[in-house]
C-alpha cells in the first residue's frame, strides 16, 4: 500500500483504530515510534531506567531511573491534521522523587534508584502515583495549573510588597489564565517500615490501601496514614540460619480487594485472602510446578526464582517470569501452569558463564496486553519477546538505534544456536549481555509498548497492514 | 469594597477555592475557617459543591461539616430550593468523592422537607447504598444510623431494615463490618419486639462471618450491643456469641473479645451474673490464659482482675487466683505487668496478706528483669505498693530492692529510683529516712564508680526537700562538701549544682561559713564547667 492510500485508510479508520484492543495476529507489525533518553555519550549510570509504567488510561507513561528521578510522558491528543502521527508521547513532568540516604545505624547507603512506580486510578483532575526505592514509598500528586490570581492589594505584579500607605482603593484579586504549568508534589511519605529492600508495590482495587513487599515481609498501608502499616505476610524464620526462600514480587488482584499473590525465589506463588486471617502466613492457594528431573542442574534453583508476577486484566490468570521462561497459570489450578513459553532457552547451556558474570540473577519483568491475549518480556542484546497465547506464535524484536527511523517496521530477529548461521541471525556467543531489557510496559487498551533499554526508552506502535 | 468583575473571570470565591489548593497549609486552613461565614453571606452554591469534590479527605470532611452546620440555618423552603438540589447533584456526580460527601448530608436536610422530597431523598440514599463503587457504599453504610435517627419508626422498619439487611450481606467485608456498628445504632431506635427478629439474626451472621474483620467488629462493639439489646436477649443470645468470639481461631478477634471481658460481665444482669460468669465465661477465660498469642494473653491480663469485685472473696480465691498466678508467671513481660498494675481491685477483695503471699516472688523477678523498661514500671509502682503494704512489710521485703536500683546500670532506673526515694520518705517520714535511707545513700559516695557517687548527690537533692534543714545540715551537707574534692570533674560540678539546690533550705550562717568557701574554691577549679556552675551557684545564693 503506498503512502497516500495508507493515509486515506487511516483517516477512515481512525476512530476504530485508536480503540482497537491489541492482538498479535499474523498481520500485526510493530514499528518504531519514539526514542527518549540521553545520547550514548554522556549517559551516566543515574540515567539507567529502572521502571516503566502506563497509567490506567494509557494517557500517561512514567519512568523511574537509578538517579531517583521520575519522568512522566503524556500522549498528545490525536488530531485529524496529523494523521500519520498517532498520538506521540511528550514530556509532561520531571521531578526528583528520591534522594540517596544513609542509614546511620547499619552504616549502609540507601540507593535512590526507583524500584517501582504504580499509578492510582484517577479520582479528580490531578494524577497520583506511588514511587518507591529500597526503603521508602512516596505518593506524588501531579497536577496542572493554568490560572493564577492577579491583582493583589498588598503585592504588585512582580510579587514585591507594596507600601500600605500608597493604597487608596481596594480591589479583589481575579484569576487569569497563564501558561500551563505541571507541578509534582509529594503528598505522603511512607517510611521506616521495611528492614529489607522493597521489591514491589501494588495498589488495591479498594482505592484505599496498597501493599509494599520486601524480601521477607509484606505490609499493608492506608493512603491516608503514613505512620502505621499492618504486616500481612512475614516469612522471616526465627533463626535466620534457616532462611531458604525470599519474596520476589507481590501484587493485588485487579478486582478482589482482599486477594493478593506473592512469588518466591523458589519458584512458587502463594495466593492469600486477607479475610481469612490478620496475618496471612498460611496461603489460600499454592502454585508450584513439579520439577522436571531431566532438566536438573546446579543452577536449577537459581533459574527457577520468579522475578515478576502479574495478574491478567481479567483477574483469572497470573503470569510469572523466571530466568528462562514465562508461565501462565490459571488461578483454579495449582499444580502446574497452563502455558509455558521459552524466552531464551539457548542460554540453558550457558548458565555457568552467566552465573560468573552475575547475569543469571537479572530480574526480568513481564506484561500482559490489554486483552490478555499477548504477553511480552525482555531478553539480552536489547531483544524483547512477544507470545500470542491464541495463535501460539511468538516474535523476537530488537530495540536499537539502527531501527529507529520514524515508523520503521521492526524486523523479527533470530538467534542461531549452533551450526550454520544465516545472514540475519545472530549467534548466541555474539549476544551483548550488557544490553538487557528488564522493564517493559504495554498500553492498557492499544498496541503501544514502551521498552526500556538501559538509559533509553523506546516506544513502538503497531501498524495496520 | 470593589465590585466584583462582571466578566467571566471568577469571583472571590475562586480565590478562596484556589487557596484551598495552595501549598501553604495556613492559607488552606484560613479558607476553610471562613467558609461558613462567606457562604451564609453570599449564598454561593458553587463553593459548596467544589469543596465537596476535593480529593483531600480532611478538606471534604470539613466542607461536609460546614454544610451540615449551615443546613440548620435554612428554612424548609430554602432547604428544598438549594440544599436538596445540591445533595442531588452530588449524588449524581461522576466523581466518587462527590457521592461520598453526599452520604453525610441526608440526615440534616430530611427532617425539614415535604413528603414528596423526602421520598426523593430516600431513593437517592438507596441508590448510594447499592452504588457500584465500594467506597461510596461504605460511606452510605456508615451514615445509615445517622439517617435512621431522623426517620419515623415505621419508615425505619420499611426502609432502613431492608437496606440494612442488604448491606449486611454485601459481598465486600468492608461494608459488612460497618453494619455491626449500625446494628447498635438502629437497635437503639427500635422497640424491643422488633429487636429479636432482626438484630439477633444479623448479629449471629456477623459473628460467624468468614472475614475476620467482621467478627472483630462484633467483638469490639460487644458491650454496646449488650446495652442495646437488653438483659433478656443478652442471656440467651449474647453469651453464646461471646463464647464463640473467645475461641475464635483469629487471634485479633480473641484479643478484642478479651478486652471486653470485664465490661461485659459487669453489665450482666445481677440476678444471673455470678452464675453465668462462673459457668459460662470462666471456662473460656481459662483457655485464654494459655493462648498461644501473647497479645491475647496480655489483653486478658489487663481486664481479668476486674472480675474480683463482681465475684466476691471466696469465688476470687477459688476461681480467679489460679488464673492470676498463671498470668503472673507468663513468659511475656507485658502480661505480667498488666497483672501487677491492676492489683488494687484484688487487694480490696481478698486483703493484703493473701495478696502479698503470691505477689512478692513475681515482683522480685520483674524488678530484676533484663529489660529496663520492665524494671522501670516496678520502680514507679513501688511507692503505691509501699503505701499498701505498710512500713514493716516494706522494710523487711522491699527496702534492699529500692536501694539496689540506685546502682542500676541504666540511668533511667537510677533516676526513677531517686524519685522513688522522695515519695517513700514522704510516706514514711524523715525519721525513717534518717535511720534507713540516708546512711545507704551516703555510703554510695565512697564507691569507685563515679556514676554512683553522682547518684549520692542526686539523692541528696531530692531528700533535702523532704527531710528539712536540720537533717540536711547535720547529715547530708558534710558529704556534699567533702565531694567537692572528687577527682572526676562531673562530680565536682554536680556538687556545685547540689549546693545551689539545697542552699535554699540552709541557714544563712551555714551558707556563709561552710558553703561559700567551698564554692569559691570551685570557681578556681581547672575544669571550665566546674567553674561555671560554681559561679552560678554563688550568684543564685547571693554569696558572690
| Predicted pLDDT at A351 | 94
Provide the pLDDT for residue B343. 76
How distant is the Cα of B503 from the closest Cα of chain A, in angstroms? Answer: 44
For residues B233 and B240, give the distance between their C-alpha atoms in angstroms, rounded to a whole number: 11
- Inter-chain touch B97–A126, beta carbons under 8 Å: no
Q: What pLDDT shows up at residue A272?
A: 96
Per DSSP, the three-state class of B521 is helix
What is residue B31's predicted lDDT score, i.e. its pLDDT? 66
pLDDT on residue A14: 34
Record the pTM. Answer: 0.76
- A132-174 pLDDT tens trace: 999 999 999 999 988 877 776 666 777 677 776 776 666 666 6
Q: According to the model, what pLDDT value does residue B20 have? A: 52
In Å, how far from its chain's centre is CA B427? 30
B12:A123 CB<8 A: no
Cβ-proximal residues to B174 (8 Å cutoff; 6+ apart), any chain: A206, A257, B134, B138, B213
Per CB-CB distance under 8 Å, the chain B contacts of A140 are none
**Cβ–Cβ gap B213/A275 under 8 Å:** yes
Which residues of chain B carry a pLDDT beneath 70? 1-28, 31-32, 34-56, 197-199
Residue B174's Cβ-side half-sphere holds a number of Cα atoms within 13 Å equal to 17
pLDDT of residue A384: 96
What was the pLDDT predicted at B61? 81
Region A81-90 average pLDDT: 72
- What does residue B19 show for φ and ψ, rounded to 5 degrees? -70, -20
Rounded to whole angstroms, the Cα distance separating B250 from B262 reads: 21
For position B156, what pLDDT does the model report?
84
CA count, 13 A, side-chain hemisphere, A306: 31
Tell me: the pLDDT tens digits for A236-292? 999 999 999 999 999 999 999 999 999 999 999 999 999 998 998 889 999 999 988
Residue B169 neighbours by CB distance under 10 Å: 13
DSSP letter, residue A411 = P
Classified as helix, coil or strand, A425 is: coil
A71 band by pLDDT with thresholds 50, 70 and 90: very high
Residue A17: predicted pLDDT? 34
Q: Which three cell numbers stand for residue A439?
A: 522493564
Tell me the pLDDT tens digit for each residue of A288-329.
999 888 878 889 999 999 999 999 999 999 999 999 999 999
Chain A residues closer than 8 Å to B15 by CB? 149, 172-175
Q: Which of A429, A427, A423 is nearest to A411 (CA)?
A: A423
Helices (H) and strands (E) in chain A, counts: 3, 32
**ipTM of the assembly?**
0.71
- Overall residue count recorded for chain A in this entry: 465
Q: Which residues of A touch B5 (CB under 8 A)?
A: 172, 174
Question: According to the model, what pLDDT value does residue A38 have?
Answer: 66
Q: How many CB pairs under 8 A join A and B?
A: 66
Q: Which residue of B has its CA nearest to A208?
A: B135
pLDDT tens for each residue of A407-430:
888 999 999 887 777 878 899 988
Q: Does B1 touch chain A (CB under 8 A)?
A: yes
Q: Contact A124/B9, CB-based, under 8 Å?
A: no
pLDDT digits (tens, 9 = 90+) for A201-234: 999 998 889 999 999 999 999 999 999 999 999 9
Q: Does B446 touch chain A (CB under 8 A)?
A: no
Crossing angle (nearest 10°) for helices B528-540 and B489-503? 10
Instruction: Quote the pLDDT of residue A295.
Output: 79
Task: Measure CA A254 to chain center.
Answer: 16
The phi and psi torsions of A222 (rounded to 5 degrees) equal -105, 135
Residues in B touching A207 (Cβ below 8 Å): 96, 134-135
B40-83 pLDDT per residue, tens? 544 455 555 555 555 567 777 888 888 888 888 778 787 788 78
Contacts of A176 in chain B (CB under 8 A): 9
Report residue B517 as a C-alpha cell.
Answer: 568557701
| Section A98-110 average pLDDT | 93
Contacts of A124 in chain B (CB under 8 A): 53-55, 95, 97
Nearest to A173 among B15, B23, B210 (CB): B15
What is the pLDDT, as a whole number, of residue B36?
A: 63
Smallest Cα distance from B504 to chain A, Å: 45
Q: Where are the alpha helices (DSSP H) in B290-342?
A: 294-303, 307-315, 321-328, 333-340
B524 interfacial to chain A (CB closer than 8 Å): no
Q: Test A278 with B4 for CB contact under 8 angstroms.
A: no
Torsion of CA A157, A161, A165, A171, to 10 degrees: 40
Q: What is the DSSP string of B142-163?
A: HTHHHHHHTS-HHHIIIIIHHH
Compare all CA atoms of chain A with the CA of B248 and give the residue at the minimum distance: A277
pLDDT at A173: 63
Select from A149, A176, A181 the residue whose CB has the most chain B CBs within 10 Å, as the one to mutate to test that interface. A149
Other Cβ atoms within 10 Å of B450 Cβ, number = 15
CB contacts under 8 A, B 69-98 vs A, are 95-97
Amino acid at each position: 500500500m503506498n503512502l497516500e492510500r495508507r493515509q486515506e485508510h487511516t483517516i477512515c479508520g481512525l476512530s476504530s483504530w485508536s480503540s482497537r484492543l491489541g492482538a498479535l495476529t499474523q498481520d500485526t507489525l510493530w514499528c518504531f515510534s519514539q526514542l527518549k533518553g540521553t545520547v550514548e555519550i554522556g549517559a551516566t549510570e543515574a540515567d539507567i531506567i529502572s521502571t516503566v509504567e502506563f497509567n490506567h488510561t494509557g494517557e500517561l507513561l512514567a519512568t523511574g531511573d537509578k538517579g531517583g528521578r521520575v519522568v512522566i510522558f503524556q500522549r498528545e491528543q490525536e488530531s485529524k491534521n496529523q494523521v500519520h502521527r498517532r498520538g506521540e508521547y511528550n514530556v509532561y513532568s520531571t521531578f526528583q522523587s528520591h534522594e540517596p540516604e544513609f542509614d546511620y545505624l547499619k552504616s549502609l547507603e540507601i540507593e535512590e534508584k526507583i524500584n517501582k512506580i504504580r499509578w492510582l486510578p484517577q479520582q479528580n483532575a490531578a494524577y497520583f502515583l506511588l514511587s518507591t526505592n529500597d526503603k521508602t514509598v512516596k505518593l506524588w500528586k501531579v497536577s496542572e495549573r493554568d490560572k493564577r490570581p492577579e491583582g493583589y492589594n498588598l503585592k504588585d505584579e512582580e510579587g514585591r510588597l507594596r507600601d500600605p500607605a500608597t493604597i487608596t482603593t481596594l480591589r479583589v484579586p481575579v484569576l487569569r489564565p497563564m501558561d500551563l504549568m505541571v507541578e509534582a508534589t509529594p503528598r505522603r511519605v511512607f517510611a521506616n517500615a521495611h528492614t529489607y529492600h522493597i521489591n514491589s508495590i501494588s495498589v488495591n482495587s479498594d482505592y484505599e490501601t496498597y501493599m509494599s513487599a520486601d524480601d521477607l515481609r509484606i505490609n499493608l498501608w492506608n493512603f491516608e496514614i503514613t505512620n502505621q502499616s499492618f504486616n500481612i505476610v512475614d516469612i522471616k524464620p526465627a533463626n535466620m540460619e534457616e532462611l531458604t526462600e525470599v519474596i520476589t514480587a507481590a501484587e493485588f488482584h485487579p478486582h478482589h480487594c482482599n486477594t493478593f499473590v506473592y512469588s518466591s525465589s523458589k519458584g512458587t506463588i502463594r495466593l492469600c485472602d486477607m479475610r481469612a486471617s490478620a496475618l496471612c502466613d498460611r496461603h489460600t492457594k499454592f502454585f508450584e510446578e513439579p520439577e522436571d528431573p531431566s532438566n536438573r542442574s546446579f543452577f536449577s534453583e537459581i533459574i527457577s526464582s520468579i522475578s515478576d508476577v502479574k495478574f491478567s486484566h481479567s483477574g483469572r490468570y497470573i503470569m510469572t517470569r523466571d530466568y528462562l521462561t514465562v508461565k501462565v497459570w490459571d488461578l483454579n489450578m495449582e499444580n502446574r501452569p497452563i502455558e509455558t513459553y521459552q524466552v531464551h532457552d539457548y542460554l540453558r547451556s550457558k548458565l555457568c558463564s552467566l552465573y560468573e558474570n552475575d547475569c543469571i540473577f537479572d530480574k526480568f519483568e513481564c506484561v500482559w496486553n490489554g486483552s490478555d491475549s499477548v504477553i511480552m518480556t525482555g531478553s539480552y542484546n536489547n531483544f524483547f519477546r512477544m507470545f500470542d497465547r491464541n495463535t501460539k506464535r511468538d516474535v523476537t524484536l530488537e530495540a536499537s538505534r539502527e531501527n529507529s527511523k520514524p515508523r520503521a517496521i521492526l524486523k523479527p530477529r533470530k538467534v542461531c544456536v549452533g551450526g550454520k548461521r544465516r545472514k540475519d541471525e545472530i549467534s548466541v556467543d555474539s549476544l551483548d549481555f550488557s544490553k538487557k531489557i528488564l522493564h517493559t510496559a504495554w498500553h492498557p487498551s492499544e498496541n503501544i509498548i514502551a521498552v526500556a533499554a538501559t538509559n533509553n526508552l523506546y516506544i513502538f506502535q503497531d501498524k495496520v497492514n | 469594597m470593589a465590585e466584583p468583575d462582571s466578566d467571566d473571570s471568577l469571583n472571590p470565591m475562586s480565590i478562596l477555592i484556589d487557596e484551598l489548593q495552595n501549598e501553604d497549609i495556613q492559607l488552606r486552613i484560613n479558607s476553610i475557617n471562613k467558609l461558613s461565614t462567606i457562604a451564609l453571606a453570599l449564598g454561593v452554591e458553587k463553593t459548596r459543591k467544589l469543596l465537596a469534590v476535593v480529593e483531600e479527605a480532611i478538606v471534604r470532611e470539613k466542607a461536609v461539616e460546614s454544610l451540615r452546620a449551615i443546613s440548620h440555618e435554612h428554612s424548609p423552603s430554602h432547604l428544598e430550593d438549594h440544599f436538596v438540589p445540591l445533595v442531588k447533584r452530588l449524588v449524581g456526580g461522576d466523581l466518587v468523592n462527590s457521592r461520598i460527601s453526599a452520604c453525610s448530608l441526608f440526615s440534616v436536610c430530611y427532617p425539614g422537607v415535604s413528603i414528596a422530597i423526602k421520598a426523593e431523598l430516600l431513593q437517592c440514599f438507596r441508590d448510594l447504598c447499592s452504588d457500584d463503587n465500594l467506597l461510596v457504599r461504605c460511606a452510605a453504610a456508615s451514615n445509615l444510623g445517622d439517617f435512621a435517627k431522623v426517620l419515623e419508626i415505621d419508615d425505619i422498619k420499611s426502609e432502613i431494615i431492608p437496606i440494612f439487611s442488604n448491606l449486611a450481606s454485601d459481598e465486600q467485608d468492608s461494608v459488612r463490618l460497618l453494619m455491626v456498628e449500625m446494628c447498635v445504632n438502629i437497635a437503639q431506635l427500635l422497640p424491643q419486639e422488633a429487636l429479636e427478629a432482626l438484630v439477633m439474626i444479623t448479629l449471629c451472621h456477623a459473628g460467624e462471618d468468614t472475614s475476620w474483620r467482621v467478627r472483630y467488629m462484633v467483638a469490639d462493639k460487644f458491650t454496646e450491643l449488650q446495652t442495646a439489646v437488653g438483659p433478656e436477649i443478652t442471656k440467651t443470645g449474647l453469651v453464646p456469641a461471646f463464647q464463640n468470639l473467645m475461641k475464635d481461631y483469629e487471634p485479633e478477634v480473641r484479643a478484642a473479645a478479651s478486652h471486653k471481658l470485664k465490661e461485659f460481665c459487669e453489665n450482666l444482669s445481677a440476678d444471673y451474673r455470678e452464675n453465668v460468669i462462673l459457668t459460662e465465661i470462666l471456662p473460656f477465660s481459662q483457655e485464654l490464659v494459655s493462648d498461644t498469642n501473647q497479645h491475647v494473653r496480655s489483653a486478658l491480663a489487663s481486664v481479668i482482675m476486674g472480675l474480683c469485685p463482681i465475684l466476691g472473696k471466696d469465688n476470687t480465691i477459688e476461681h480467679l487466683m489460679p488464673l492470676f498466678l498463671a498470668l503472673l508467671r507468663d513468659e511475656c513481660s507485658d502480661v505480667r505487668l498488666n497483672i501487677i498494675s491492676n492489683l488494687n481491685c484484688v487487694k480490696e477483695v481478698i486483703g493484703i496478706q493473701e495478696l502479698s503471699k503470691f505477689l512478692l516472688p513475681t515482683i522480685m523477678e520483674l524488678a530484676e528483669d533484663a529489660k529496663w523498661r520492665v524494671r522501670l514500671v516496678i520502680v514507679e509502682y513501688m511507692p503505691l505498693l509501699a503505701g499498701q503494704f505498710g512500713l514493716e512489710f516494706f522494710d523487711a521485703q522491699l527496702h534492699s530492692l529500692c536501694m539496689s536500683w540506685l546502682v542500676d546500670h541504666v540511668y533511667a532506673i537510677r533516676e526513677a529510683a531517686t524519685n522513688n526515694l522522695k515519695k517513700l520518705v514522704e510516706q514514711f517520714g524523715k525519721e525513717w529516712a534518717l535511720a534507713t535511707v540516708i546512711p545507704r545513700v551516703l555510703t554510695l559516695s565512697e564507691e569507685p564508680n563515679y556514676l554512683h557517687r553522682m547518684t549520692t548527690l542526686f539523692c541528696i537533692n531530692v531528700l533535702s526537700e523532704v527531710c528539712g534543714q536540720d537533717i540536711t545540715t547535720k547529715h547530708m551537707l558534710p558529704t556534699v562538701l567533702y565531694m567537692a574534692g572528687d577527682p572526676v570533674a562531673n562530680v565536682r560540678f554536680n556538687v556545685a549544682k547540689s549546693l545551689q539546690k539545697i542552699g535554699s533550705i540552709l541557714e544563712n550562717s551555714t551558707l556563709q561559713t561552710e558553703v561559700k568557701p567551698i564554692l569559691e574554691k570551685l570557681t578556681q577549679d581547672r575544669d571550665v564547667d566546674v567553674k561555671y556552675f560554681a559561679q552560678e551557684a554563688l550568684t543564685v545564693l547571693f554569696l558572690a
